[in-house]
Structure 1
Amino acid sequence: MSISVEPQSAQKPAMEGHPVATAPQSALVLALGVGQTIAFASSFYLLGVLGDPIARDLSLRPALVSSLLSVSLLTSALCAPAAGRWIDARGGKVVLLASSVAFAAGLAVLAMAHGLAGLVAGMTVLGVAMSLGLYETPFAILVGLHGEAARRPITGVALLGGLGSSLGWPLSLMFSQALGWRGACLAWAAIHLCVCLPLAAWIVPRMGRRTHAGRTTRTPVAWDRRMVQLAALFAGAWFISTCMSAHLPRVLQALGLSPAAAVGAASLVGVAAVTMRLLEFTVLRRLPPVVTTRLATLLHPIGAAALLSFGPVAAPALALGQGGGNGMLTVAKGVLPLTLFGAENYGYRSALLSTPARYAQVAGPAVFGLALDQSARLALIGSSAVCLFMFAMTLGLARGGETAQEDATA
């Protein structure tokens, strides 16, 4: 039995109309990828550098300031379905333009904060911006343009978006040292208005491909078995990703590495993520997305098993496994819904699938931290079990027509 969620009017997929004039694919991928790098650097990774100076200036506990990212993640989860409906109804360009303004507004509110209430307000606005401007929106734009051939450009955007921490942390530190934390927030706001907004306005097409006479569809999005499996898969992936982002150096220290060695090993996560996305863009692009997704779910458990079996010398294996798996799963999040369900209602469907993942991101660091307080080995066994559950969620996924009868009786 399926539970149907009725979206608002949504544009039919690209295949029914004629292509609009667009910039070359490489220029569009570059523009969207640069936008993702800036968006992640100035939101998800912002407090990793600015949290301590904000806490000192406002006489707040650093842990409290760092935890405010959960405010953004929770807000993003609440707003995601509405953002997805907007993408399908109006096209991704207008949503992307709105996200640039929202990012700039949230960062400006942060820069003017003089206490906890101001910080919460700024992070709330950033959460709205994240629901509008992170991966789901550029992926939907590419699906509107290329239909089921969007896998390669999606991988290209994810490849560039993976540089958010690698470029964001050094730039935030540079801005903070030169301008103070308030100036750093305003610098990022200016970048959104002077870089992201013009890129979206000039390069991103208004619609991917238009339907005849603007005709729309109200086909419901059904929570069938495959939707539930994908939602569980992505929730597990983003739970583990957020846990490792928050705690990986501490895990490695608990298993015998020095602080410097732990940070050095943990830094391999970003390298591995970008490398695997590059491989997806080239060598692995001919493999079915379900196959690469299954491989991705196993990389973290393999790295964890190596570390637990061979000790600190195998610490890079965990970092590489986590980074590589996460890099591939980011691409899967954009490609699997397209492969399994087609382009119709892609934006709204992707938003529905991402909502449990956003809630999992909120809870992940606290839950994993409790396990880590008991035992680092226990925490890694638990995270590996989640990944094996994710692998199980990839079983039985197939294109709609092949499993329609099975879904009808589920």
Structure 2
Amino acid sequence: MNRRIVITALGIAQILSWGCSYYLPAVLARPIAADTGWPFTWVVAGLSAGLLCSGLASAFTGSLIQRNGGRPVLVAGAILLASGLVVMGLAPNLPVYFLAWMLMGVGMSASLYDAGFGTLGRLYGKDARGAITSLTLFGGFASTVCWPLSAFLVEHFGWRATCFTYAGIQLVISLPAFLMLVPAAPGIAGSGIAGPPPPGDGSSVHRPTFVLLACITALAAMIASMLSVHLLTVLQLRGIDLAVAVGLGTLIGPSQVGARVVEMVIGKYHHPLWTMLASVLLLAAGTGLLLTGWPVTALALILYGAGNGVHTIARGALPLVLFDPYRYASIMGRLAVPSLIMQAVAPAVGALLLDHGGSSTMLGVLFAAALTALLLVLCLARVRSRVGVSQ
């Protein structure tokens, strides 16, 4: 199967999967609360429950991709997302609503970036870096495509019909794309390619490297999750009008995609560790400048968006060179566990920080997290130089 066709199929599915799961509450939460009378906080908390389930399932999902290839896992992810959306559309009460998010959370572990990266790593091994970068370019347009679509569907048909529509999209678009356009992985019957070596053949994971990388990605996930939920509130608390705050927030998406395009062009000339270093430097610069306030807020958000965009690539590309590429899918699943759990709890932690310390306290914590991640990247470089892995 042509690599461009595979990446395009996975990329379109990424847009739809992110749009009908992670980005769904941004548009549907208030209509759901208004229609049902459920507390808005609990409606939004459904996503946290989904992310928590995704984190708990991701290691198992990664091991399945490692053993069987990505296609069956992606198929299961599309079916789980569709099932969760149908349950959500039918939900008569909050417990059923949370059950829907739990189903979708398991589906997210089998359909979002980590599953996509694992699939590409299983297909292309150490040569998957370019494919991973291309996949993130597609994913960067998820909110751009799906927020307007969700808003249109909610306005004209209601939130329940919106859930049913996205369920249909998963079954009509994503599911056939996985079945027809994602090839069997090496080692799967009919692929004609020899499989990976058995687990004992030199494929052990260097534990200090794994722990450092897991901590770096978890800290970056905390920063992204907390700001994605609380950014507009933070800007308003710092004296910026809502309309201006919304306009400033729109700088993040193009910055993410722009930074990924730059990395796609120059990435082949440097080690992915430099990509990770650049990402945490940009995150630190962005959160630090946010602390200083207006008029550098726009620059701060551009730097933060660029850092967040590049980090997604580094998170997928760096394990390819730090660990045995034959075990990439399994390692990605394990690395995702702390990041997804952090994503789940970060919004609640951010709310507590805002309530008890204000915007400066929350931003100070995020800046400290970014500096810690920067220090850990430097430690990672030192550890890898000691074990003989260098640029």
TM range, normalised to the smaller chain? over 0.9
Provide, for residues 147-182 of structure 1, a one-character-per-residue CA deviation record: whole Å limited to 9, x for no partner: 212111100001101111121211111111222111
What code does the residue aligned with 1:295 have? Answer: A
Contact 2:229 2:347 (8 Å CA) reproduced: yes
Counterpart pick for 1:167 among 132, 137, 145: 145
Q: Report SS of the residue matched to 1:169.
A: helix
1:232 paired to 2:210: no
- Cα distance in structure 1, aligned partners of 2:204 and 2:160: 43
TM alignment of 1:9-408, pairs within 5 A:
22=1, 24-208=2-186, 217-219=198-200, 221-222=204-205, 224-309=207-292, 311-373=293-355, 374-397=357-380, 403-404=386-387
| Cα 1:391–1:401 shift into 2, 3 Å | closer
Deviation above 6 Å: which 4+ runs of structure 1? none
Q: Report SS of the residue matched to 2:378.
A: coil
- Cα distance in structure 2, aligned partners of 1:292 and 1:268: 21
For residue 394 of structure 1, report the CA deviation from its aligned partner.
1.2
| Paired residues, number | 383
Q: Report SS of the residue matched to 1:133.
A: coil
| Cα 1:235–1:215 shift into 2, 3 Å | closer
- Cα distance in structure 1, aligned partners of 2:336 and 2:104: 17
- Cα distance in structure 2, aligned partners of 1:214 and 1:233: 31
Q: Report SS of the residue matched to 1:177.
A: helix
Query: TM-score, normalization: structure 2?
Result: 0.93
Contact 1:139 1:154 (8 Å CA) reproduced: yes
- Cα distance in structure 1, aligned partners of 2:27 and 2:258: 24
Contact 1:339 1:399 (8 Å CA) reproduced: no
| Structure 2 unaligned spans of 5+ | none
Comparing 201-210 and 214-223, the one that deviates more: 214-223
For residue 106 of structure 1, report the CA deviation from its aligned partner.
0.6
Contact 1:151 1:335 (8 Å CA) reproduced: yes
Contact 1:175 1:183 (8 Å CA) reproduced: yes
Provide, for residues 50-99 of structure 1, a one-character-per-residue CA deviation record: whole Å limited to 9, x for no partner: 11111122211112101111110111111111111111111111101111
| Cα 1:213–1:368 shift into 2, 3 Å | closer
What code does the residue aligned with 1:217 have? Answer: P
Q: Report SS of the residue matched to 1:296.
A: helix
Contact 1:341 1:399 (8 Å CA) reproduced: no
Contact 2:85 2:163 (8 Å CA) reproduced: yes
Contact 2:65 2:122 (8 Å CA) reproduced: no
For residue 146 of structure 1, report the CA deviation from its aligned partner.
2.0
| Structure 1 unaligned spans of 5+ | 1-21
Contact 1:76 1:131 (8 Å CA) reproduced: yes
- Cα distance in structure 1, aligned partners of 2:345 and 2:104: 19
What code does the residue aligned with 2:29 have? Answer: G
Cα RMSD of the aligned pairs, angstroms, is 2.0
| Cα 1:256–1:125 shift into 2, 3 Å | same
What code does the residue aligned with 2:213 have? Answer: L
What code does the residue aligned with 1:388 have? Answer: L
Q: Percent identity?
A: 33
- Cα distance in structure 2, aligned partners of 1:315 and 1:405: 42
| Cα 1:53–1:392 shift into 2, 3 Å | same
For residue 292 of structure 1, report the CA deviation from its aligned partner.
1.6
